[in-house]
Amino acid sequence: MPNLHDIERRINSVNSTKQITRTMQMVAAAKIRRASQRVVEATPYAESMAEMLGDVAQRVGGSENALLQTHDDIKNVLVIAVVSDRGLAGGFNSNILRHVEKTINAETAQGRNVRIIACGKKAISFFNFRKVGLDMVFKDMSADPTIEEAASIAAKAIDEYESGECDKVVLVYNHTLNAAEQKLTQEEILPIDSERFAHKQDLSKAESEGVTSAEEDDTSLEGDVIFEPSADSVLDTLLPAYVKTMIYHALIDSAAGEQGARRTAMQSATDNANEMVDTLNRYYNRVRQGAITTEINEIVGGAAALED
C-alpha cells in the first residue's frame, strides 16, 4: 500500500497535468473563433465559384476540357490526406489516417497504384512508418493553411490528371459541423463532375420558386452573356481555379475542426483529471485515517501493557 507521501505526490502530479490541459483547452477555444471565421469568409466565394462554373458549363454545353473527362481505365489514384501537425486532438487524425489506409488497401486490391499527398506532420510520420511513399508533404501549416499551399497541391493534381499520370484525385479531410463535432469527408475533386453543377443550378431554381410575384419577373429573366475571348476559354480558366478553391476550403475547414477537436479532447482530459484528484483525495483521507487508527491502537496497547 502506498504511503501518504506517495499519494500526495500523485495528487500534485495530476493537478499539474490538469493545469496544462486546461490551458490548452482555453488556447484551442480562442483559436476556434479565428479559424471558424476564415471558413465563414471563404464559403461565399467557394459557393459563388461553383455557381458561376455551373452557369458557364450549362451555356457552353459539352466541353473537351481534360478536367471534365473521366478516364475509362483507372490505374493510378492520387489521395490528398489533410490532418494536423500536432496531436492531443482525440481521434481527429487517426480517423483520417485509418480511412486513407483502408482506401489504399482497397484500391491496391483492385490493381491500382495509390500515391499520397500528406498535409500535416501526423500524416507524414504515419506513412513514413509504414514505408508508404509520399509525392508531396506539407508541415507546420495545418493550423494556418495558405492559398499558396492549396495552389501547389492543385497544380500538381491538375498537371498529373491532364498528362494521364493519375486517373482520379481524392481529397480526405475533416469537415467542421460545429465547434465540437467534425465529420470525415471524402471528395473526388478530379475529374470534375459537371452534373453536380447542373444539380446545384436546379436547386437554386427550386429555391427561387418561393419568391413573390413582384420578384418573380426579375428572378426568371436570363440575359445574354458575352464571353471574351470565348465561353470555352472562360471555362478552361474557371476549372483550375475551382479545384484550387476546393482544396483551400478543405484546408481551412480542417484547421477549424482541429481546434474544435483539441478543445473537446482537452476538456475531457481536464474533467478526467478533476475526477482523478477527487478519487485520490478520498483515498488519501482513508489511508490517513487508517494510519491514525493504527497509531491510536498502538498507544492504547502500549499503555495497557505498562499497567500490567
Task: Give a yes or no: residue 220 inside a domain.
Answer: no
Question: For 98-141, how does the pLDDT look when each residue is reduced to its tens digit (9 = 90+)?
Answer: 999 999 999 999 988 999 999 999 999 999 998 888 888 998 88
**Distances from the Cα of 242 to the Cα of 117, 150, 172, 193, 302, angstroms:** 19, 11, 17, 12, 89
In one-letter notation, the amino acid at residue 202 is: D
Please tell me the predicted confidence (pLDDT) of residue 36: 85
Q: Record the pTM.
A: 0.80
Residue 172, domain CATH: 3.40.1380.10
Compute how many other C-beta atoms are within 10 angstroms of the C-beta atom of residue 6: 12
Q: For the ranges 43-47, 89-93, 204-208, which has the lowest average pLDDT?
A: 204-208
Question: For 8-25, how does the pLDDT look when each residue is reduced to its tens digit (9 = 90+)?
Answer: 888 899 999 999 999 998
Distance CA 80, CA 103 (A): 12
Place of cell 437554386: 204
- pLDDT interval class at 47 (50, 70, 90): confident
**Distances from the Cα of 297 to the Cα of 4, 76, 288, 308, angstroms:** 19, 80, 14, 17
Task: Give a yes or no: residue 287 inside a domain.
Answer: no
Q: For the ranges 68-72, 126-130, 262-266, which has the lowest average pLDDT?
A: 68-72
**In the structure grid, which three cell numbers stand for residue 185, read together?**
469527408
DSSP 142-172: SSS--HHHHHHHHHHHHHHHHHTS-SEEEEE
H or E stretch including 17? helix 4-60
Q: Which domain holds residue 85?
A: 26-195+226-263
Distance CA 286, CA 293 (A): 10
Task: Give a yes or no: residue 116 inside a domain.
Answer: yes
With CA atoms as reference, report the closest residue to 88 among 293, 251, 299, 266: 266
Please tell me the predicted confidence (pLDDT) of residue 156: 92
Task: Give a yes or no: residue 36 inside a domain.
Answer: yes
Average pLDDT, the chain: 82
- pLDDT interval class at 79 (50, 70, 90): very high
Task: Give a yes or no: residue 47 inside a domain.
Answer: yes
- pLDDT interval class at 207 (50, 70, 90): very low
pLDDT > 90? residue 1 = no
Q: What mean pLDDT is predicted for residues 87-108?
A: 90
- Note whether 182 and 260 are within 8 A (CB): yes
- pLDDT interval class at 223 (50, 70, 90): low
Compute how many other C-beta atoms are within 10 angstroms of the C-beta atom of residue 116: 23
Phi, psi of 141 (to 5 degrees): -135, 0
Task: Give a yes or no: residue 3 inside a domain.
Answer: no
**Distances from the Cα of 186 to the Cα of 73, 82, 196, 197, angstroms:** 21, 11, 15, 18
- pLDDT interval class at 82 (50, 70, 90): very high
Question: For 161-177, how does the pLDDT look when each residue is reduced to its tens digit (9 = 90+)?
Answer: 988 888 899 999 999 88
Task: Give a yes or no: residue 18 inside a domain.
Answer: no
pLDDT > 50? residue 160 = yes
Alpha-carbon radius of gyration of the chain: 29
**In the structure grid, which three cell numbers stand for residue 134, read together?**
509520399
Q: For the ranges 29-38, 61-70, 140-149, 266-275, which has the lowest average pLDDT?
A: 61-70
Contacts of 149 (CB under 8 A, 6+ apart): 119, 138, 141, 248, 251
Number of domains within the chain = 1
Task: Give a yes or no: residue 14 inside a domain.
Answer: no
Please tell me the predicted confidence (pLDDT) of residue 212: 45
Distance CA 95, CA 235 (A): 36
pLDDT > 70? residue 62 = no
Please tell me the predicted confidence (pLDDT) of residue 298: 74
Distance CA 246, CA 80 (A): 12
**In the structure grid, which three cell numbers stand for residue 61, read together?**
454545353
Q: What mean pLDDT is predicted for residues 279-301?
A: 81
Please tell me the predicted confidence (pLDDT) of residue 29: 86
DSSP 233-264: HHHHHHHHHHHHHHHHHHHHHHHHHHHHHHHH
- 33 CA to centre of own chain: 16
